[in-house]
């Protein structure tokens, strides 16, 4: 299949349950990517189905724009597909995937830094703390408590967005993508100790700047 044939419709089709069939016994994503490298289209579809949502989430936290996040996620998988023949299973598949995503996200952020809208919070957007969608609770929070919660979330978003680039990437991967120090270090091409220091500085900055909400 040519890269021209890899269109948004195909990516959406890869998110259907059928795309994951037949890979339950495979040990790792790297092995599945090697199958994709060898020409197994269903292997590539499986990886898209598995990682599309996390990549869209990652891109949204970097771009703060839902449409841009979808476009950037699509570009990530296009690049994965185009680069499949050069893929080597010397590192985890997720490391390779997030390196591609990080490069795209950083370039997009730099290109649009003067266009980024004011950070807002919608009840339909992911909760900063749980990663789930905010829903109106059944009387468990008052209107005032909801306002305070939304103000806190907006403050967190602003402060995370204002962190230096490497710290911001590390925090998003650690807190929201639930990646460990080793995984983040591999994506950012740093040592684990340097990554821990990076996150420590970022969280110290956030604690100091958000102390009124803690």
d(CA 187, CA 75): 18
Q: How many CA atoms lie within 13 A of 106 on its CB side?
A: 14
The residue among 19 and 140 whose pLDDT is bigger is 140
Average pLDDT over every residue of 52-62: 94
- In this structure, the answer to whether residues 94 and 145 fall within a common structural domain is no
Segment 102-113, tens digit of pLDDT: 999 999 988 887
pLDDT at 58 over 60: yes
The residue among 117 and 214 whose pLDDT is bigger is 214
d(CA 44, CA 18): 13
d(CA 114, CA 25): 47
Tally of structural domains, the chain: 2
Q: Copy the structure tokens of residue 212.
A: 């009124």
The range of the structural domain enclosing residue 211 comes to: 118-214
- In this structure, the answer to whether residues 107 and 154 fall within a common structural domain is no
d(CA 197, CA 147): 34
Q: Copy the structure tokens of residue 182.
A: 């080793």
Strand partners, 126: 133
The residue among 5 and 183 whose pLDDT is bigger is 183
pLDDT at 28 over 70: yes
Cα dihedral 102, 96, 50, 192 sign: negative
- In this structure, the answer to whether residues 49 and 25 fall within a common structural domain is yes
- In this structure, the answer to whether residues 113 and 159 fall within a common structural domain is no
**Res 142: pLDDT:** 77
The residue among 80 and 92 whose pLDDT is bigger is 80
CATH assignment of the domain containing 84: 1.10.1740.10
CATH assignment of the domain containing 150: 1.10.10.10
158 and 148 Cβ atoms separated by less than 8 Å: no
The pTM (predicted TM-score) of the whole model is: 0.76
15 and 56 Cβ atoms separated by less than 8 Å: no
The residue from 117, 146, 177 where one domain ends is 117
The residue from 88, 117, 146 where one domain ends is 117
- In this structure, the answer to whether residues 75 and 125 fall within a common structural domain is no
- In this structure, the answer to whether residues 125 and 170 fall within a common structural domain is yes
Segment 132-156, tens digit of pLDDT: 333 444 457 677 777 877 888 888 8
Segment 177-194, tens digit of pLDDT: 999 999 999 999 999 999
193 and 201 Cβ atoms separated by less than 8 Å: no
**Res 109: pLDDT:** 86
d(CA 7, CA 162): 34
Phi, psi of 112 (to 5 degrees): -115, 15
Average per-residue pLDDT for the chain:
81
């Amino acid at each position: 299949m040519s890269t021209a044939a890899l269109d948004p419709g195909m990516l959406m089709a890869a998110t259907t349950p059928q795309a994951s069939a037949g890979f339950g016994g495979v040990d790792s994503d790297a092995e599945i990517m090697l199958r994709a490298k060898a020409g197994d289209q269903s292997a590539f579809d499986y990886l898209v189905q598995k990682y599309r949502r996390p990549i869209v989430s990652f891109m949204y936290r970097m771009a703060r724009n839902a449409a841009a996040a979808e476009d950037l996620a699509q570009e990530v998988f296009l690049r994965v597909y185009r680069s499949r023949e050069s893929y080597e299973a010397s590192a985890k598949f997720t490391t390779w995937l997030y390196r591609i995503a990080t490069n795209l996200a950083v370039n997009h952020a730099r290109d649009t830094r003067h266009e980024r809208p004011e950070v807002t919070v919608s009840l339909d957007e992911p909760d900063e703390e749980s990663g789930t969608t905010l829903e109106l609770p059944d009387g468990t929070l008052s209107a005032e408590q909801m306002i305070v919660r939304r103000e806190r979330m907006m403050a967190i978003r602003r402060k995370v967005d204002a962190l230096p680039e490497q710290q911001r990437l590390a925090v998003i991967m650690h807190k929201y993508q639930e990646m460990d120090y080793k995984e983040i270090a591999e994506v950012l091409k740093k040592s684990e100790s340097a990554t821990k220091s990076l996150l420590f500085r970022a969280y110290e900055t956030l604690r100091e700047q958000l102390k009124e909400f803690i």
